[in-house]
Chain A
Amino acid sequence: MANTAEFRTCPDTGLQFHRPAETLMKLNAVAGVVFLLLGGVLALLLGLTRWPKYHLLGAEPFYMFLTAHGINVLIFWIIFFEIAVLYFTSSTLLKCRLATPRWAWLGFILMVVGSVTTNVAVFQGNSSVMMTSYVPMSAEPAFYLGLILFAVGALIGCFVFLGTLVIARAERTYGDGSIPLVTFGALTACIIAIFTIASGAIILIPTLLWKLGLVSHIDPLMYRVIWWAFGHSSQQINVAAHIAVWYAIAAVVFGAKPLSEKVSRMAFLLYILFLQLASAHHILVDPGVSSEWKIFNTSYAMYLAVMASMIHGLTVPGAIEAAQRKRGFNKGLFEWLRKAPWSNPSFSGMFLSLLIFGFLGGISGVVMGTEQINIIIHNTLYVPGHFHATVVGGTTLAFMALTYWLVPVLFRRDIVLPKLASWQPYLFGIGMTGFSLFMMGAGTLGIPRRHWDISFSGALLNHQFPETAYLLLGLVGISTILAVLGGGLFVLQIVASILFGKRRGEVKSAVPIIAAPVADGLKGIGIGGVAVPGTLVLALVFLISFVLYYFVNWKYLSQVWGLS
């Protein structure tokens, strides 16, 4: 270790923090939360506009705020937080100094400057182009410039992470075995991020030049293909990152060990190998793209990335079940789950994230990513319904859950109002579940996404959507309020805890915040030789729901006009 004065050992967890890394983790996480707050305020206004009864905003602010919402939460909140996760999983978990803190600072500053620049461009009003900024519609140059700066900053963060891994290996800071599973997951996210950011650069830089008049034409179809190579793989970063967070929380709350390292690591590896390059499932109903390519690219002949997520969906709760059973909760199928710490927001947030991501986000995503089924779903409200289940109910909730644990460890402060904190994941999770489900429902009835007025005021022609769709949109509105309350509560609590939470001091506190690791092996637990029967039952329920829902959609498809 280079210089021991630069390290702090957390008395509660025994984790060693490299001080420059610690500062950067804090800054990145806080910056992320600021953008989450901004995006959340906008979310409330958008949700109340899509509620036909209130129809709050005018068309212009609606599209402006929709652009801002997508960018602030999907890009800025999530990526700032992921950079903090990268530094934690490299420097802290490997007990290693952060490689080149100066570069990490530069990356952070570029990300801040970039995100502010893009926000200024959007709120000035001439860049309401949605986060996808499909050409030939165009935004102000500052819109693209900000995104490019942000991406360069994030790329620097990725290389700092990789550099730290290299140093840790060279200096053998974590022994001479393999890196921890959580770090391996983060490495997966990082590798995908590098590919993603490269695609982003390939498409955004020419678009900026086009806007500045230096390039004469950008083909709109080519734009979509490359933009989605960036847009889709960035979602794979989120998945890898939040699954790493699930494993981390299973470890700190239960001392859980993966059922087998081999399977969990292989599943992460599949994400890299079967990442859909130039992701086709966003262009399934575009002209000029062949079916062979669409089918191959969405599945690589066997959907191995989907299989990888299904594997994590089993191994994460499986690890928890095994740990609980070893602790003595070995009765019946579900004692381990009933006796889980449901009032610990780190656990409840993580488990809700697992359920919402799997059952809602995962199933809907694969179904609508099927070449032909996409015809009855593309660009309807079903799409935001799906991705709020993945990226909000899944990623955001997992990150929130981790934050409850990080505040005492990183900031050495207690969470204020712990009772309220134990409610927060439920409020947010249930709100988001309703929001996603009702949006998907409205989408199946044809309600378009990114649409200010489904009563088409001022149009020459007309169309009346069914009453049920209006009912569903009302329920979307109510769920919006629940979810925004839940999200607001989170931000409030984290900010209050960081500023005013009781200081934990530098002595070990009476209440432990990290569980001791459980013993190795799976001997003597479970039922009839099956070590994790409860998880197996849950997984089978999942598979049956998946199969039924998948074929129901083929049935719906078979009833519409013939197309060939």
Chain B
Amino acid sequence: MSLTPPSERLWWKEPIERVELLWVGLALLWALIMFVMMPYWHIYGKQNLSNEAYRTTPEQFSKKVDAMVEKYTVRKETARGYPVVAPPAGSDVYLLGRLWEWYPILELEKGKKYRLHLSSMDWQHGFSLQPENINVQVIPGYEMVITVTPNKTGEFAIVCNEYCGINHHQMLGRIYVK
């Protein structure tokens, strides 16, 4: 039994049970398929995170955000007067996370590509686009670039899903897609 030393001293010479052999074979095959799926999706799939990322600082990054806000703000919303920014298709779009908001509000067009830059001004945050459920980790000091192509119109929320202190639950952002 498994609590005592093997009854067959030369256990490594025993033949393997057939069911076991079959199962090891099936498991290995399945493991290989699962491995192949990941590179396959990089080639044929439409949802892959790019590996584009840069080191940055809160000052550098917020400068880029401010420049974009200055240029492309189309209106203001909410009591705080959040700028709603509508950058041209194909351009670089900057979104920052800080305690406890995503800034600014973005307005994009369906079917167009945008280079979305994400970074944090303070602690780690979680970019969680709802109801799409696209989730990306946002880390201070790093600027991540993802090319997004919205495929539906409507109003999307950005929830924060990395714990970032006491008002974590108030941290929201918004993206409109026209």
Cβ B143 vs Cβ A287 within 8 A:
yes
Q: Counting chain A CB atoms within 10 Å of each CB, which of B7, B31, B142, B157 scores highest? A: B31
Question: Is residue A134 contacting chain B, with contact meaning CB distance below 8 A?
Answer: yes
Within the complex, the shortest CB–CB distance from A522 to chain B, in Å, comes to 6
Q: Which parts of A242-263 form the interface with B (CB within 8 Å)?
A: 247-248, 250-252, 255-263
Report if A560-B133 is in contact (Cβ < 8 Å); known contacts: A261-B8, A290-B51, A448-B159. yes
Within the complex, the shortest CB–CB distance from A128 to chain B, in Å, comes to 8
Contacts of B42 in A (CB 8 A): 291
Cβ A531 vs Cβ B17 within 8 A:
yes
Cβ B171 vs Cβ A380 within 8 A:
no
Contacts of B32 in A (CB 8 A): 302-303
Interface size on B, residues (CB 8 A): 94
Contacts of B142 in A (CB 8 A): 220-221, 287-288
Q: Counting chain B CB atoms within 10 Å of each CB, which of A179, A299, A319, A529 scores highest? A: A299
Question: Is residue B60 contacting chain A, with contact meaning CB distance below 8 A?
Answer: no
B80: nearest chain-A partner, CB-CB = A460
The listed residue (A251, A302, A535) touching B1 by CB distance below 8 A is A251
Cβ A560 vs Cβ B47 within 8 A:
yes
Contacts of A465 in B (CB 8 A): 130-131
Cβ A260 vs Cβ B139 within 8 A:
no
Within the complex, the shortest CB–CB distance from A48 to chain B, in Å, comes to 17
Report if A371-B159 is in contact (Cβ < 8 Å); known contacts: A180-B4, A220-B141. no
Cβ A301 vs Cβ B157 within 8 A:
no
A530: nearest chain-B partner, CB-CB = B19
Question: Is residue B150 contacting chain A, with contact meaning CB distance below 8 A?
Answer: yes
Question: Is residue A332 contacting chain B, with contact meaning CB distance below 8 A?
Answer: no
A514: nearest chain-B partner, CB-CB = B3
Given the complex of chains A and B, what is the CA–CA distance between A450 and B130 in angstroms?
17
Interface size on A, residues (CB 8 A): 112
Given the complex of chains A and B, what is the CA–CA distance between A290 and B50 in angstroms?
8
Cβ A562 vs Cβ B17 within 8 A:
no
Within the complex, the shortest CB–CB distance from A336 to chain B, in Å, comes to 14
Cβ B131 vs Cβ A446 within 8 A:
yes
Report if A530-B18 is in contact (Cβ < 8 Å); known contacts: A221-B142, A446-B130, A456-B169. yes
Q: Which parts of A461-502 form the interface with B (CB within 8 Å)?
A: 461-463, 465-466
Cβ A181 vs Cβ B6 within 8 A:
yes
A219: nearest chain-B partner, CB-CB = B141
Contacts of A533 in B (CB 8 A): 19
Contact with A along B33-62 (1 / 0, CB 8 A): 011011101100111111101000000000
Given the complex of chains A and B, what is the CA–CA distance between A25 and B30 in angstroms?
40
Contact with B along A515-535 (1 / 0, CB 8 A): 001001010000001111101
Cβ B34 vs Cβ A550 within 8 A:
yes
Contacts of B171 in A (CB 8 A): 459
Contacts of A377 in B (CB 8 A): 135
Cβ B2 vs Cβ A258 within 8 A:
yes
Cβ A562 vs Cβ B24 within 8 A:
no
Question: Is residue B26 contacting chain A, with contact meaning CB distance below 8 A?
Answer: yes
The listed residue (B3, B34, B168) touching A182 by CB distance below 8 A is B3
Question: Is residue A54 contacting chain B, with contact meaning CB distance below 8 A?
Answer: no
Cβ A532 vs Cβ B48 within 8 A:
no
The listed residue (A302, A520, A562) touching B35 by CB distance below 8 A is A302
Cβ A452 vs Cβ B48 within 8 A:
no
Contact with A along B129-147 (1 / 0, CB 8 A): 1111111111111111011
Contacts of B79 in A (CB 8 A): 460
Contact with B along A252-288 (1 / 0, CB 8 A): 1001111111111100000000000000000101111
Given the complex of chains A and B, what is the CA–CA distance between A180 and B1 in angstroms?
8
Given the complex of chains A and B, what is the CA–CA distance between A221 and B144 in angstroms?
12
Cβ B34 vs Cβ A287 within 8 A:
no
Given the complex of chains A and B, what is the CA–CA distance between A448 and B137 in angstroms?
13
Cβ A370 vs Cβ B34 within 8 A:
yes
Question: Is residue B67 contacting chain A, with contact meaning CB distance below 8 A?
Answer: no
Question: Is residue B101 contacting chain A, with contact meaning CB distance below 8 A?
Answer: yes
Contacts of A547 in B (CB 8 A): 30
The listed residue (A177, A251, A290, A306) touching B2 by CB distance below 8 A is A251
Within the complex, the shortest CB–CB distance from A275 to chain B, in Å, comes to 16
Contacts of B132 in A (CB 8 A): 560-561
Contact with A along B150-172 (1 / 0, CB 8 A): 11100001011111111111111
Question: Is residue B149 contacting chain A, with contact meaning CB distance below 8 A?
Answer: yes
Contacts of A258 in B (CB 8 A): 2
Cβ A466 vs Cβ B17 within 8 A:
no
Given the complex of chains A and B, what is the CA–CA distance between A59 and B163 in angstroms?
12
Contacts of B166 in A (CB 8 A): 59-60, 63
Given the complex of chains A and B, what is the CA–CA distance between A535 and B157 in angstroms?
47
Contacts of B173 in A (CB 8 A): 461
Cβ A453 vs Cβ B169 within 8 A:
yes
Cβ B5 vs Cβ A178 within 8 A:
yes
Cβ A459 vs Cβ B136 within 8 A:
no
Given the complex of chains A and B, what is the CA–CA distance between A446 and B42 in angstroms?
24
Contacts of B19 in A (CB 8 A): 259, 314, 318, 530-533, 535-536
Q: Counting chain A CB atoms within 10 Å of each CB, which of B2, B24, B162 scores highest? A: B2
B residues contacting A by CB (< 8 A) are: 1-9, 11-12, 14-20, 22-24, 26-28, 30-32, 34-35, 37-39, 41-42, 45-51, 53, 78-80, 82, 101, 113, 118, 122-124, 126, 128-144, 146-152, 157, 159-174
Q: What 10 A-B pairs come out closest when comparing CB atoms?
A: A562-B149, A287-B144, A463-B157, A448-B161, A303-B31, A287-B53, A261-B11, A459-B170, A378-B135, A288-B53
Q: List 28 A-B contacts (CB under 8 A).
A: A59-B166, A60-B166, A137-B164, A182-B3, A221-B141, A251-B1, A259-B20, A260-B14, A263-B17, A263-B24, A287-B139, A303-B35, A370-B37, A372-B45, A375-B136, A377-B135, A446-B128, A450-B162, A450-B163, A456-B170, A460-B80, A531-B18, A532-B19, A557-B47, A560-B132, A561-B129, A564-B46, A564-B48
Told that A178-B11, A181-B6, A287-B142 touch, could you supply 12 new A-B pairs with CB distance under 8 A? A63-B168, A134-B123, A221-B142, A259-B17, A263-B16, A287-B143, A307-B31, A310-B23, A371-B38, A372-B48, A517-B1, A543-B26
